[in-house]
Amino acid sequence: MLERLSEMSADSSSEGRRTLLSAVTDLFLVDEEASAAATEHYTEIAERSLDAMGSDDRAAYAERVAAEPQLPNPIAKRLASDDEAGVAQLVLRLSPVLSDDDLAAIAVTHSQTHLAAIAERASLSETVTDVLVQRGDRKVLRTVSGNEGAAFSDQGLDTLITRGDGDTQIARNLAERSDSLPSTQARRVLQIAAQMSLTHAPEVETEVIDASKNKHFARKARERRLEVRLLIADLKEGKRGIDEVVTLLCKDDRAFDLAQVISTFSDIPNTQALRALLQKEASGIAVACKAMALGSGAFKDVLTMRASRLGIPAKQIDRDLASYDELTAEMSERAMRFLKVRSKVS
């Protein structure tokens, strides 16, 4: 079929390329074990089609395929490297087929908007964060410092601390996730966070930094993680309702912790839950939340938190909430079965 569609590509107009690519994508993505030949044909068609498509059409295609594990790497790189940030952002944030080298190369050459999208990925290696902290602006530094899935080399952490000097948000981000850092890095960020706290509190400007400050920040980070574990335990034991817990986490803008709850009770990987939560298209997170029997009020809190992070307009929240109310439990269960199978295959 892909071979036949390849022969149909005589129409070189933007509309013709868009239509062809849409048809081929429908066929390609449904086959979870595409042959090498099929992958090669799809890559060729996609590359030629993207050449002829405008930025809006490229962005629409990128939104459709950003999180797909079957997407050929050359196409993922092509989209992620697009000079139009609106095309590249979602792929940079979600694509599971981009390698560390791919991400680092894009971070070296592209805009701060591209870097900010990379900084929001569910996990980041030292190779990538080394570039982000070297080139990133204040927004990028704040984002990557607060990303609980980001790992830092010792040199990268030094760069982040040096370039973020005086920024209390960066210091607080690092302190809150200190128990996920290597011990030597954790001790350093806790000391710096304590220093920042004193510097910006006039009533204690002359106070000597002592060990109790470090203990306070470490304890705070541990208590946050313990709280999530206890919330999950309470849910399993029926001591709390899912709506209550989700609303609590959304009100505190704790997307990473919310993804952990969704992962636990929908039986999908944590990274997949986080991707669904942080992509602009709400259908994926709606399916997961409906499968957990989350009420409309709590789902609106999810949508509101997402809107704040992703810049989604209020009208879209209303539309997504209406779609959620129309989504049946049966439809969500079927979709979840499909997602679970796909996550195991990929």
Question: pLDDT tens digit string along 306-344?
Answer: 998 888 899 999 999 999 998 887 777 776 665 554 444
3-state helix, strand, coil in the chain (%, to 5): 75, 0, 25
Q: In angstroms, rounded to a whole number, what is the distance separating the alpha carbons of residues 98 and 207?
A: 48
pLDDT for res 245: 94
pLDDT for res 202: 41
pLDDT for res 215: 52
pLDDT for res 255: 84
Q: Answer whether residue 204 shows pLDDT above 50.
A: no
Tell me the per-residue pLDDT of 161-179, one tens digit each, with 9 for 90 and over: 899 887 888 888 887 776 6
pLDDT for res 17: 63
CA distances from 245 to 189, 238, 254 (A): 30, 12, 11
Q: In angstroms, rounded to a whole number, what is the distance separating the alpha carbons of residues 120 and 86?
A: 15
Task: Please report which confidence band the pLDDT of residue 198 belongs to, taking 50, 70 and 90 as the band edges.
Answer: very low
pLDDT for res 4: 46
Tell me the three state secondary structure of residue 124. Answer: strand
Mean of the pLDDT values across residues 219-246?
82
Higher pLDDT, 143 or 201: 143
Residue reference for tokens 């602009």: 280
Tell me the three state secondary structure of residue 150. Answer: strand
In degrees rounded to 5, what are phi and psi of residue 150? -95, 130
Q: In angstroms, rounded to a whole number, what is the distance separating the alpha carbons of residues 244 and 100?
A: 38
What percent of the chain is modeled with pLDDT above 90? 37
Mean of the pLDDT values across residues 265-293?
84
pLDDT for res 59: 92
pLDDT for res 178: 67
Task: Please report which confidence band the pLDDT of residue 345 belongs to, taking 50, 70 and 90 as the band edges.
Answer: very low
Strand partners, 150: 124
Q: Answer whether residue 10 shows pLDDT above 80.
A: no
Tell me the per-residue pLDDT of 102-156, one tens digit each, with 9 for 90 and over: 999 999 999 999 999 999 998 999 999 999 999 999 999 999 998 988 999 989 9
Mean model confidence pLDDT for the chain: 81
Residue reference for tokens 């190369």: 105
What percent of the chain is modeled with pLDDT above 70? 79
Cα dihedral 132, 137, 139, 141 sign: positive
pLDDT for res 338: 55
Q: Answer whether residue 58 shows pLDDT above 70.
A: yes
The predicted model scores a pTM of 0.57
Helix pair 270-278, 296-310: axis angle to 10 deg: 70
Q: Answer whether residue 274 shows pLDDT above 90.
A: no
Centre a 10 Å sphere on the Cβ of residue 11 and count the other Cβ atoms it contains: 12
List the one residue out of 132, 123, 124 whose CA is nearest residue 163: 132
Q: In angstroms, rounded to a whole number, what is the distance separating the alpha carbons of residues 92 and 297?
A: 31
